[in-house]
């Protein structure tokens, strides 16, 4: 009888453990709003140093390394804070912050472009930095400079041979990013001026990631694509000038180079910990060195600004 | 005799409850999954008003412009699947015959474990190898016409390698299951080894070979990651040939979800693709069962 009891108690123990684990998992996924609220009372009567809680941050992968590096430092300074950073893309980031699944949603594009106007309005836009992008070609292409019109012609299928833009004859192999990617949206807004390529024009590839673009542009004779500055590598491929302007951070800042976008960290009714982290992202500690180390441009350096419809004005 | 842990009857009850609960859990998961995919997928047609016929027959998939025509994706999915099967089948069948009929010792001890090793390699590794080796080979062979080397042919080749272990292992098992009396009878009639294999072994193993092929096809149809890396990912136009860059149902799904916001039309349209995939797998499974039933009947 004692044996039978022990078996039964083993079963109930195992079952209990499983339920408890599942419960823990659910709490983990839901984000710990409970600990956030408890931290309110704790921090109200002490200094800001006693922050605690979890911040979920999902979305665009393009500047995820920057946010991860900053989050690590922030966690070192605030040991009770956990910042959970996941990927998923801009669309995911925006829907997560809209639905309250994440406190921060990272995006390459303005929320207005992806969400309903009313949903977008409820979000707070924090532009942490600027990313510059430029056209790149296979190292063997003997063209160094293209006008915006020529770029437009190439990416809409009007220009198909390098000899038409002053190079040695050879087929232009257009490598695109996936429709809907932030990089592509930025490039098309600046180069195609809001138009999109005709329906019957097919590029030779539409890639999901910048890494694959690097790989393909190296391998493919006559290939052209576009990448963020942080991926630029003269040993692997060649970055082109646009209208005679070199693709670099200084030219983006002074407004002469037009292909760039903000990196957004959207929040919705940010709680104390979330706001503290956003403030940290905007502080000199991150903006001063970390942003540039990761290949981005501090938002404060910009002498021009862009709105959601792509209009550029002096800051 | 050792002391019983529980009265026999009680032990029976525990066993029945535990195994029953497992069945219930599996059934619950399957039903919940089907329900969820169907609910999200069907809302593309019933809530967002996408026309089902134009969804199936439309020749352009540009979600950002609200154009949802899944035909290029469907065609490509079937294209790479058939290509992969075409490449794999002769090799798998040939090596299965060698292993079972010619050199069983070598086959069982060395060849089969080697092939099964292929099954354990993660998709992304196949994708990377495809990206560097297969795509480069396409460019070297076909030159400018191959573009970056990414296309349906590259996808088919990578998938062929990926389904090779499934098809080979199942073919080996199928051939090995043919009773030895059949072979002995054939030899007794004066048939050579080749005649025996061709007319007796292959014929009586047909149902299990078909199952092997269809299971391989199912895997090829559902694979996403590796294909995505080598196929080029162009969703907006119908593929014009084997070298055209294209996208399958699965690659459109994986790359689309990162850019879609939950609840949007695009999001529902992607679920509809998932629903389509699920329907296809269902058809594959039905075919396997049909073949199984027919095989059982033939053997009496």
pLDDT tens digits, one per residue of A54-69: 999 998 888 898 999 9
Q: A52-130+260-314 sits in which CATH class?
A: alpha beta
**Contact between B256 and A221 using a beta-carbon 8 Å cutoff:** no
Size of interface A-B (CB pairs under 8 A): 115
At A229-264, the pLDDT tens digits run 988 989 999 999 999 999 999 999 998 999 999 999
Cβ-based contacts of B131 with chain A (< 8 Å):
212, 215
List CB contacts of B118: < 8 A, sequence separation 6 or more: B161, B162, B164, B165
The answer, for A178 touching chain B at a CB cutoff of 8 Å, is: yes
pLDDT at B298: 67
Nearest residue of B to residue A15, measured between CA atoms: B18
Q: How confident is the model at residue A300 (pLDDT cuts 50, 70, 90)?
A: confident
Six-digit token string for B98: 């060698």
List CB contacts of A180: < 8 A, sequence separation 6 or more: A91, B63, B64, B256, B259, B260, B266
Of B243 and A311, more confident: B243
Of A221 and A46, more confident: A221
* Alpha carbon of B86: minimum distance to chain A alpha carbons (Å): 25
Mutate to test the interface with B, among A180, A183, A192 (most CBs of B within 10 A): A180
Cβ-based contacts of A207 with chain B (< 8 Å):
233
Q: Check whether A92 has a pLDDT greater than 50.
A: yes
* Alpha carbon of A59: minimum distance to chain B alpha carbons (Å): 8
**Contact between A220 and B262 using a beta-carbon 8 Å cutoff:** no
**Contact between B148 and A216 using a beta-carbon 8 Å cutoff:** yes
Q: Which pLDDT tens digits describe chain B residue by residue (300 residues)? A: 556 677 888 888 899 999 999 999 999 999 999 999 999 999 999 998 899 999 999 999 988 788 899 999 999 999 999 999 999 999 999 999 999 998 888 888 899 889 888 888 999 999 999 988 999 999 889 988 888 889 999 999 999 999 999 999 999 999 999 999 999 999 999 999 999 999 999 999 999 999 999 999 999 999 999 999 899 888 888 998 899 999 999 999 988 887 788 888 889 999 999 999 999 888 988 988 888 787 777 664
Residues 222-241 of B with CB under 8 A from A: 228-229, 232-237
Q: What is the mean pLDDT of residues A137-141?
A: 94
What gap in Å lies between CA A15 and CA A64, rounded to an integer?
39
Q: Check whether A207 has a pLDDT greater than 60.
A: yes
Global ipTM: 0.75
Nearest to B62 among A92, A179, A212 (CB): A179
Nearest to A173 among B62, B135, B147 (CB): B147
Q: Check whether A1 has a pLDDT greater than 50.
A: no
Q: What is the mean pLDDT of residues A122-128?
A: 93
Nearest residue of B to residue A174, measured between CA atoms: B147
Establish whether domains A52-130+260-314 and A133-253 are of one fold: yes
The answer, for A286 touching chain B at a CB cutoff of 8 Å, is: no
What gap in Å lies between CA B227 and CA B151, rounded to an integer?
9
**Contact between B233 and A205 using a beta-carbon 8 Å cutoff:** yes
DSSP label at B3? P
What gap in Å lies between CA B88 and CA B94, rounded to an integer?
10
DSSP label at A288? I
* Alpha carbon of A309: minimum distance to chain B alpha carbons (Å): 16
The full length of chain A comes to: 315
Q: How confident is the model at residue A140 (pLDDT cuts 50, 70, 90)?
A: very high
Six-digit token string for A111: 């929320």
Q: Check whether A33 has a pLDDT greater than 80.
A: no
Six-digit token string for B74: 């469907």
**Contact between B62 and A204 using a beta-carbon 8 Å cutoff:** no
What gap in Å lies between CA A238 and CA B128, rounded to an integer?
23
Nearest residue of A to residue B2, measured between CA atoms: A3
Nearest residue of B to residue A107, measured between CA atoms: B259
pLDDT at A259: 92
Backbone φ, ψ for residue A170 (5° rounding): 170, 150
Cβ-based contacts of A98 with chain B (< 8 Å):
261
Nearest residue of A to residue B234, measured between CA atoms: A206
Cβ-based contacts of A200 with chain B (< 8 Å):
237
**Contact between A204 and B257 using a beta-carbon 8 Å cutoff:** no
Spell out the domain ranges in chain B. 56-299
Nearest residue of B to residue A181, measured between CA atoms: B259
Q: Strand pairing of B61-62 and B67-68?
A: antiparallel
Looking at every residue in chain A, the average pLDDT score rounds to 83
**Contact between A220 and B139 using a beta-carbon 8 Å cutoff:** yes
User: Which ranges in chain B belong to alpha helices (H)?
Assistant: 8-46, 52-57, 71-97, 104-106, 112-119, 123-129, 135-142, 152-176, 180-188, 193-195, 202-204, 206-222, 225-231, 249-257, 265-299
pLDDT at A274: 94
The answer, for B149 touching chain A at a CB cutoff of 8 Å, is: yes
**Contact between B257 and A221 using a beta-carbon 8 Å cutoff:** no
The answer, for A138 touching chain B at a CB cutoff of 8 Å, is: no
Nearest to A179 among B64, B228, B232 (CB): B64
What gap in Å lies between CA B163 and CA B168, rounded to an integer?
8
Q: What is the CATH number of domain B56-299?
A: 1.10.3720.10
The answer, for A53 touching chain B at a CB cutoff of 8 Å, is: no
Six-digit token string for A112: 């207005």
**Contact between B232 and A114 using a beta-carbon 8 Å cutoff:** no
* Alpha carbon of A39: minimum distance to chain B alpha carbons (Å): 31
Spell out the domain ranges in chain A. 52-130+260-314, 133-253
Q: How confident is the model at residue A29 (pLDDT cuts 50, 70, 90)?
A: very low
- For the domain made up of A133-253, give the CATH fold: D-Maltodextrin-Binding Protein; domain 2 (3.40.190)
At A257-291, the pLDDT tens digits run 999 999 999 999 999 999 999 999 999 989 988 99
Using DSSP's 3-state secondary structure scheme, residue B236 falls into coil
Cβ-based contacts of B10 with chain A (< 8 Å):
4
Residues 234-253 of A with CB under 8 A from B: none
What gap in Å lies between CA A163 and CA A237, rounded to an integer?
20
**Contact between A206 and B259 using a beta-carbon 8 Å cutoff:** no
The answer, for A177 touching chain B at a CB cutoff of 8 Å, is: no
Nearest to B147 among A4, A205, A212 (CB): A205
Is-contact A89 B254, C-beta < 8 A? Answer: no
């Amino acid at each position: 009888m004692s044996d039978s009891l022990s078996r039964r108690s083993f079963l109930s123990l195992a079952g209990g453990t499983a339920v408890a684990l599942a419960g823990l998992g659910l709490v983990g996924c839901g984000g710990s709003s409970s600990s956030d609220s408890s931290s309110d009372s704790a921090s109200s009567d002490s200094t800001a140093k006693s922050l605690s809680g979890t911040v979920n941050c999902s979305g665009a992968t393009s500047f995820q390394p920057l946010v991860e590096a900053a989050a690590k430092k922030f966690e070192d300074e605030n040991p009770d804070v956990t910042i959970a950073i996941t990927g998923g893309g801009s669309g995911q980031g925006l829907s997560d912050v809209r639905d309250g699944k994440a406190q921060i949603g990272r995006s390459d594009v303005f929320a207005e472009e992806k969400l309903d106007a009313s949903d977008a309005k409820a979000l707070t836009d924090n532009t942490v930095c600027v990313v510059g992008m430029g056209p790149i070609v296979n190292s063997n292409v003997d063209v160094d400079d293209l006008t915006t019109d020529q770029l437009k012609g190439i990416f809409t299928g009007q220009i198909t041979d390098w000899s038409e833009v002053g190079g040695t004859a050879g087929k232009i192999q257009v490598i695109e990013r996936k429709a809907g990617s932030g990089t592509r949206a930025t490039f098309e807004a600046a180069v195609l001026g809001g138009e999109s390529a005709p329906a019957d024009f097919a590029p030779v590839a539409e890639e999901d990631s910048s890494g694959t673009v690097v790989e393909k542009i190296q391998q493919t004779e006559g290939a052209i694509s576009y990448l963020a500055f942080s991926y630029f590598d003269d040993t692997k491929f060649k970055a082109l000038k646009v209208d005679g302007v070199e693709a670099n951070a200084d030219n983006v800042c002074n407004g002469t180079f037009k292909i760039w976008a903000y990196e957004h960290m959207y929040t919705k009714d940010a709680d104390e910990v979330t706001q503290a982290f956003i403030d940290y992202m905007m502080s000199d500690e991150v903006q001063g060195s970390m942003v540039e180390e990761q290949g981005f441009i501090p938002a404060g350096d910009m002498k021009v600004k862009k709105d959601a419809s792509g209009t550029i004005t002096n800051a | 005799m050792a002391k019983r842990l529980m009265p026999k009857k009680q032990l029976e009850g525990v066993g029945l409850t535990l195994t029953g609960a497992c069945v219930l859990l599996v059934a619950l998961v399957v039903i919940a999954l089907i329900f969820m995919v169907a609910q999200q997928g069907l809302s593309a047609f019933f809530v967002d008003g996408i026309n089902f016929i134009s969804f199936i027959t439309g020749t352009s998939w540009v979600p950002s412009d609200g154009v949802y025509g899944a035909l290029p994706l469907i065609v490509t999915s079937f294209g790479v699947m058939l290509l992969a099967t075409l490449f794999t089948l002769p090799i798998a069948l040939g090596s299965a015959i060698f292993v079972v009929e010619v050199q069983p010792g070598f086959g069982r001890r060395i060849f089969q474990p080697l092939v099964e090793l292929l099954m354990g390699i993660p998709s992304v590794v196949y994708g990377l190898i495809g990206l560097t080796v297969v795509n480069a080979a396409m460019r070297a062979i076909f030159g400018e016409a191959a573009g970056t080397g990414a296309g349906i042919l590259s996808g088919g080749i990578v998938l062929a390698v990926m389904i090779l272990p499934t098809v080979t292992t199942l073919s080996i098992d199928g051939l090995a299951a043919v009773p030895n009396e059949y072979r002995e009878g054939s030899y007794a009639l004066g048939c050579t080894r080749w005649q025996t294999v061709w007319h007796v072994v292959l014929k009586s193993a047909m149902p299990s070979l078909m199952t092997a092929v269809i299971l391989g096809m199912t895997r090829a149809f559902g694979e996403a990651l590796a294909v995505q890396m080598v196929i080029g990912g162009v969703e907006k136009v119908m593929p014009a040939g084997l070298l055209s860059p294209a996208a399958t149902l699965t690659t459109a799904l994986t790359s689309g979800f990162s850019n879609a916001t939950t609840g949007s039309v695009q999001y529902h349209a992607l679920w509809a693709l998932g629903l389509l995939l699920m329907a296809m797998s269902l058809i594959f499974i039905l075919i396997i069962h049909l073949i199984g039933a027919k095989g059982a009947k033939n053997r009496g």
